[in-house]
């Protein structure tokens, strides 16, 4: 009888808001916390501009980069072998918002997503950016309902789905990222895709959890007006392989030098 050997790996996700501008803190994070795979969103550079040499120096020799000039862009960097796979077509505007990879030879597929923010007005009739966001979510819902399997979805989904994923549920009900149409759609597509939201599986639903704090606050720690926009989901059949207690939102990273407004989230999983 042949038994499959399982290997525990650490997967992290981080909207870095310009990888070239913040490569210093990215390297600090990799040196200190050493994820095996790091998924970045909003890299804001073209593929050839991505600072590959900096990642190579730290052992992240495997890369899948889907860049775009000045905007958007996603990348997956890894210490362990990954191979690019076909990414679902979620973006009607052909933005660089998804990278997809298979981990190892027989591991799960990982989808690194940057869902559109949606602008300021939560009305698709007058706000094209919000209409784009809803269309993106609709495509996600249809795809994942039909494509179950060993899949890990990570990234900046730009939606804080639950009451305690925002600093004030009542105040933000009409604010993009926490409107009912967004939160209900996200939860419906998560359930339809048979995904487990690792953060809420590990933490009590009444615990305040945030991964983003606006740059507009002079002192973000003073009022702690955050939102949980960054997510790690796994197919339900993968849940037994997840070390739930390893889940981390690295809140301190919001105070690093030249920080992103998002912080890294990570979890360990056996593959």
Q: Is the pTM of the predicted complex or chain greater than 0.85?
A: yes
pLDDT > 90: what percent of the chain?
93
218 versus 20: the higher-pLDDT residue is: 20
Confidence of residue 16 (pLDDT cuts 50, 70, 90): very high
- Looking only at the bridges linking them, the beta strands covering 226-227 and 212-213 are antiparallel
Residue 3 clears pLDDT 70, i.e. is over it: no
pLDDT at 4: 60
Which structural domains are found in the chain, ordered by start?
Answer: 9-270 (3.60.10.10)
């Amino acid at each position: 009888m042949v038994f499959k050997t399982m290997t525990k790996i650490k997967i992290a996700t981080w909207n870095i808001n310009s990888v070239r501008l913040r490569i210093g803190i990215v390297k600090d994070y990799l040196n200190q916390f050493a994820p095996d795979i790091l998924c970045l969103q909003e890299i804001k550079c073209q593929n050839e501009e991505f600072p590959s040499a900096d990642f190579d120096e730290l052992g992240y020799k495997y890369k899948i980069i889907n860049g775009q000039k000045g905007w958007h862009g996603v990348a997956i960097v890894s210490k362990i072998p990954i191979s690019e796979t076909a990414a679902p077509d979620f973006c009607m505007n052909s933005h660089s918002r998804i990278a997809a990879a298979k981990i190892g030879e027989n591991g799960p597929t990982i989808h690194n997503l940057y869902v559109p923010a949606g602008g300021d007005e939560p009305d698709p009739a007058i706000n094209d950016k919000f209409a784009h966001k809803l269309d993106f979510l609709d495509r996600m819902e249809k795809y994942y309902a039909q494509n179950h399997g060993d899949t890990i979805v990570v990234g900046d989904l730009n939606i804080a789905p639950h009451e305690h994923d925002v600093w004030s549920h009542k105040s933000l009900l009409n604010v993009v990222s926490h409107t009912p149409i967004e939160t209900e759609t996200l939860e419906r597509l998560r359930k339809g895709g048979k995904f487990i939201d690792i953060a809420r599986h590990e933490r009590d639903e009444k615990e305040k959890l945030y991964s983003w704090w606006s740059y507009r606050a002079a002192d973000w720690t003073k009022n702690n007006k955050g939102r949980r926009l960054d997510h790690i989901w796994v197919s339900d059949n993968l849940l037994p392989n997840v070390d739930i207690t390893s889940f981390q939102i690295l809140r301190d990273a919001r105070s690093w030098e030249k920080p992103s407004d998002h912080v890294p989230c990570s979890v360990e999983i056996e593959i």
